Amino acid sequence: SQQGEEDPQALSIQEGENATMNCSYKTSINNLQWYRQNSGRGLVHLILIRSNEREKHSGRLRVTLDTSKKSSSLLITASRAADTASYFCATGGGGADGLTFGKGTHLIIQP
């Protein structure tokens, strides 16, 4: 099955700095999604990028996709304490069989 792997596993930065997380996957995709999970809570969809897109923005989020390298990155600009969470990339065929998630990057924003 397709699987995303995030890098790094954990990241700690100062508030106001930018945070970059990377995701690699193994097979061809239709789209790639990023989700956020606050401690012990459900995942929340952040952004979806289609396979024919190279970059997408949503507020302070910027996602890039390089299908030739089978990789994606999530950039959070001007980080805030509330951005402290785990971030997951996910791939899937768009069917009922849902998504395959990576193991996540745990982001800590230091005040």
- Which residues are at the interface with another protein (CB under 8 A)? 1, 30-31, 33, 35, 40-45, 48, 50, 88, 90, 92-104
Q: How far is the CB of 89 from another protein (least distance, A)?
A: 11
Matching residue, tokens 């980080």: 79
Q: How far is the CB of 81 from another protein (least distance, A)?
A: 21
Task: Please return the burial class of 21, using the count of CB atoms within 10 Å of its CB with bins 0-12, 13-18 and 19+.
Answer: buried
Q: How far is the CB of 12 from another protein (least distance, A)?
A: 19
Task: Please return the burial class of 11, using the count of CB atoms within 10 Å of its CB with bins 0-12, 13-18 and 19+.
Answer: middle
Residue 16 or 98 with smaller CB distance to another protein: 98
